[in-house]
Amino acid sequence: MFKVRILISITIFSILLICTAIIKNQTRQIEKKIDFLSKSILQNEKELNESQLDFSYLTSPYILEKKIKHLDNTQYVTMDYSKIFLNVSNYIDLQNKLVIQENPNEKKKQKK
């Protein structure tokens, strides 16, 4: 009877010890993830605040007015809508066409 009680108490103690170790490891992993996410959130908030500060500074009416006054009217030229590229692929296509058109002329000049 005495040995059965000792065996039961050792078994219960071992099970509780193993469960405690498992729970402790899981909480440590969760704490590491929380810490990583907290640092990431702080970094993103800092970048957001800096971006908002830059935006508010650069778009303030006073700064815009200074920039417009700084530009000389003779230097400012409006851009045609046809020169504005909506995406990079259009620009690359145009550049490829220009390069192809330039290459035959250069080859003819070199042969002469």
How does DSSP assign 7-76, residue by residue? Answer: HHHHHHHHHHHHHHHHHHHHHHHHHHHHHHHHHHHHHHHHHHHHHHHHHHHHTSHHHHHHHHHHS-TTT-
Task: List the chain domain ranges.
Answer: 2-111
**H/E segment holding residue 80:** none
The residue written with tokens 């009680």 in the block is: 5
What percentage of residues in the chain have a pLDDT greater than 90?
A: 38
Q: pLDDT tens-digit profile of 27-79?
A: 999 999 999 999 999 999 999 888 888 887 777 777 777 777 776 655 656 66
User: What is the value of pTM for the model shown?
Assistant: 0.45
